[in-house]
Amino acid sequence: MSSYQGVIVSDPWLQSQFTQVELRTLKSKFISVRTQHGRVTRDDLPPVFAGMKAFSEMFSEDDIKTFLGESNSDMGEEIDFEAFLRLYLDLQGRAVEKSGGLRSSFLKATTTTFHHAINESEKASYVAHINNYLAEDKFLKDFLPIDPATDALFDLAKDGVLLCKLINVAVPGTIDERAINTKKVLNPWERNENHTLCLNSAKAIGCTVVNIGTQDLVEARIQLLADLNLKKTPQLVELVDDSQEVEELLSLAPEKVLLKWMNFHLKKAGYQKQVTNFSTDLKDGEAYAHLLNALAPEHSTHSTLDAKDPTERANKVLEMAEKLDCKRYLTPKDIVEGSPNLNLAFVAQIFHHRNGLTDSKTTTFAEMMTDDAETSREERCFRFWMNSLGATTYVNNVFEDVRNGYVMLEIVDKIFPGTVNWKQANKPPIKMPFKQVENCNQVIQIGRNLNFSLVNVAGNDIVAGNKKLIIAFLWQLMRFSMLQLLKNLRTHSQGKEITDADILNWANNKVKKAGRTSQMESFKDKSLSSGIFFLELLSAVEPRVVNWGLVTKGETDEDKKLNATYIISVARKLGCSIFLLPEDVIEVNQKMMLTLTASIMYWSLQQQEAASEDGEISDEIFVEGRENETGLSGETSDLAVDSESSKTEE
């Protein structure tokens, strides 16, 4: 099999409801029925659907037969694959209704037929945001401005280009735009690639993509809150009085920092109430009036405070904000009705234009902001990886948020369900330090049960915030999770344990079989900094995905960065969920090189696994070159927790 083509259906909307893995699985079921009966009818489907995990606990065969007969009384009528998919979606909808709105684990939330309820004010705000920030974009300018009174926003979003562009507006440089499919007319496969690129990139900048919809992406939440941390805005230390409070500030979610900032100025302005949310506490407009009077005394007026009608006061608030160049993305009605998303956006805009903070205390706590570059990048990588798992607790700062042990237990439970003894876990808020130690001790014990390298490591080390040990533990957790995913691809692994050496050998063999000459000696091979090897590997697993006309020789620093950004976007476009930065490729961070290679390997073998279900023969032999495994023992130990044992092994 020279190239993976994917399952394509003629209806673009229907295509967009499924991932390729899901389409492969469903097509395999369809073909199995057709092979057995010579054709597929509705009458054949009840036992097929009832046997699927998505429905087995919800419906009996008789239930499903009744549902299928409701829309068409002729159960013997032959159906094609697209009709099969539509019936599946219909049954999926019934399952959602029966479960009270909970979706099946088989279909992702993004692929359900149920649409988010659209708030017209929020849609108008998103449209204004897009029209403002992307008006000069070379590709989108032909489609802008969008009319908020129509559904043009959602029509434009279907190809995925707009969503990718918005990711780059939020965090510039996240997506290499050379990897976006930008033809005027895209086929379903190209459209799916754009959406995959967008979602994987959204995860990589900290977006939660569980239950995500188009409007969740275009709200530009990440962009609005990007500067609400001490690294981007060190003046925020003015909000606290001592170093202990600075540590607490470091761990606050951006929304909480914004509320703290707002209350700081309101207190100074003599406002007696505390603002605890972006909805009901702001509906009367009084907090806004006091805030703007404090931040912009040159524009202050008592008429805003004296206004009796909340709508009149809200209108005056917006007029005053416009004098500070805050874009009017919300209306007086949105304030009065307490729209939480639009109020959050409005307060964030005020912060960006006039935060009212000084530099008087920034040098006092400057030493707290001196993480080395690699540690800072790794913290970012693990933070976004942890949040992508969908745990209840959202991680804002790894080194602070893991210290009570609870979020670590949640992450472990997400990866290895059933390993955590929740009866012995202490749920936040945890005031007693020994309760935090109990949680962390359980985390360490689970790590030991998984054969992690944890020599002389105890729960106290996590509670104390030992950055080196926390990063090392999380790395082993991520690595073990990746190896387990590969092991579970039984068509290729036969259930054997997978090693770093297997991943290295697979990559080298894949590139060699594709007729390329690049090879890597290890995951710290300095030649990897050029990016050529990974581009050849990506081309080997999917020949059409790399445009070699865009690839540089990777000799200068600038050329290396161009290749590195392209590698990351192409990998995400395929479907690899990775959290590294271009600097990790350029500097050959061996941990990130392993995760990148393993992610490409997992994607490639997943496609072959799906293809083999359709009776296609895989050309992949999974474990090759086991004799070279010992050559990586030193490298693997470099990544362990205990540095002394690493030196001994080397």
Architecture of domain 373-489: Orthogonal Bundle (1.10)
The more confidently predicted of residues 465 and 622 is 465
* β-bridge mates for residue 41, sequence order: 78
pLDDT at 6: 58
Look at residue 639 and give its three-state secondary structure: coil
DSSP 8-state symbol, 78: B
User: Which segment, 124-133, 357-366, 396-405, is predicted with the most confidence on average?
Assistant: 396-405
CATH code for residues 234-356: 1.10.418.10
Least confident range from 308-317, 356-365, 567-576, 592-601: namely 356-365
**What would the DSSP string read from start to end of 319-331?**
HHHHTTT----S-
Higher pLDDT pick, 579 / 245: 579
| Tokens 């949640």 -> residue | 410
- Are 435 and 346 within 8 A, CB to CB? no
Question: 551-588, pLDDT tens digit by residue?
Answer: 999 999 999 999 999 999 999 998 888 889 999 999 99
pLDDT higher than 80, residue 529:
yes
pLDDT confidence band for 510 (50 / 70 / 90): very high
Of the segments 186-200, 396-410, 485-499, which one has the largest average pLDDT value?
A: 396-410
Q: At what angle do helices 310-322 and 340-353 cross, to 10 degrees?
A: 40
Around 460, how many Cα atoms within 13 Å sit in the side-chain half-sphere?
A: 2
pLDDT of residue 448: 93
Evaluate whether 583 touches 377 at the Cβ level (below 8 Å): yes
pLDDT digits (tens, 9 = 90+) for 363-404: 555 445 555 566 788 888 998 898 888 778 888 888 888 999
* Among 474, 467, 418, CA closest to 444: 474
Assigned token pair, 544 = 């059409």
Local structure of 482: helix, strand or coil: helix
Question: Would you say 540 and 516 are in contact if contact means Cβ atoms under 8 Å apart?
Answer: yes
Residue 132's Cβ-side half-sphere holds a number of Cα atoms within 13 Å equal to 12
Q: What pLDDT is stored for residue 432 in this prediction? A: 87
d(C-alpha 339, C-alpha 422), whole Å: 37
Q: How confident is the model at residue 625 (pLDDT cuts 50, 70, 90)?
A: very low
pLDDT above 60 (res 302): yes
pLDDT above 50 for 219: no
**pLDDT range class, residue 228, cuts 50, 70, 90:** low
- Can you tell me the mean pLDDT for 453-461? 90
498 DSSP assignment: P
Least confident stretch, 310-314, 375-379, 461-465, 502-506? 375-379
CATH H-level superfamily of 500-607: Calponin-like domain (1.10.418.10)
Copy the structure tokens of residue 391: 């745990």
Whole-model pTM?
Answer: 0.70
Q: Is the peptide bond before 234 cis (omega within 30 degrees of 0)?
A: no
Q: What value does the mean pLDDT of the chain take?
A: 79
Q: 78 φ, ψ to 5°?
A: -70, 140
Of 637 and 548, the structure prediction assigns the larger pLDDT to: 548
Cβ-contact 175, 569 below 8 angstroms: yes
Least confident of 53-67, 422-436, 521-535, 543-557: 53-67
Query: Which is higher by pLDDT, 188 or 2?
Result: 188
Q: What is the pLDDT of residue 552?
A: 94
Instruction: Choose the weakest-confidence range: 99-113, 206-220, 272-286, 331-345.
Output: 99-113
Map tokens 């893991």 to a residue: 402
- Report the alpha-carbon distance of residue 158 to residue 496 in Å, rounded: 41
Alpha-carbon gap, residue 406 to 334, rounded angstroms: 37
Q: Is the pLDDT of residue 644 over 60?
A: no
Please give the residue that has the higher pLDDT: either 508 or 613: 508
**Cα–Cα distance measured from residue 454 to residue 459, given in angstroms and rounded to the nearest whole number:** 11
- 161-165-168 Cα angle (round to 5): 150
Q: Is pLDDT at 637 greater than 60 in this prediction?
A: no
What CATH architecture is 136-205? Answer: Orthogonal Bundle (1.10)
Straight-line distance from the first to the last Cα atom of the chain, in angstroms, rounded to the nearest whole number: 40
| Distance between CA atoms of residues 501 and 495, nearest Å | 16
The one-letter code for the residue type at 344 is: L
